[in-house]
Amino acid sequence: MRQIPEACTRIEGRFTGQADAPYDMQLVRTDARCQPRAALLDFAQVQPGKDGWRLNDRIRIPAAACPGLQAVVEVWRRPVEQPLTRDGQG
């Protein structure tokens, strides 16, 4: 459903048909050689609107059997200012 190249991860999911957990999501590593530049955190660790956290993307996935049923995924990010180290070319 969504790829996050900075974290070397993609989010995959499917509707389960179960009332208690209608949607199942997994984080899948895109490549074992990929060097992540960002970390994924559980939503419980994020405080939206505080400490610079911003809503980056909201994804709505309608169920094929019932278009009124949607799974919603929110991707939050917190920009971090990091000084760039110069290489041999400046």
Q: Is residue 89 part of a domain?
A: no
The model's pTM is 0.66
Vertex 45 angle, CA 23 and 60, to 5°: 30
Any domain includes 84? no
Domain limits for position 50: 2-77
* 15-55 pLDDT per residue, tens: 888 888 888 888 899 988 988 888 888 878 877 777 788 88
Residue 73 lies in a domain: yes
Helices and strands in the chain, H and E counts? 0, 5
Cα–Cα nearest to 76, from 60, 51, 56, 61: 56
pLDDT of residue 39: 81
In a domain, 83, yes or no: no
Number of domains in the chain: 1
Quick check: is 44 in a domain?
yes
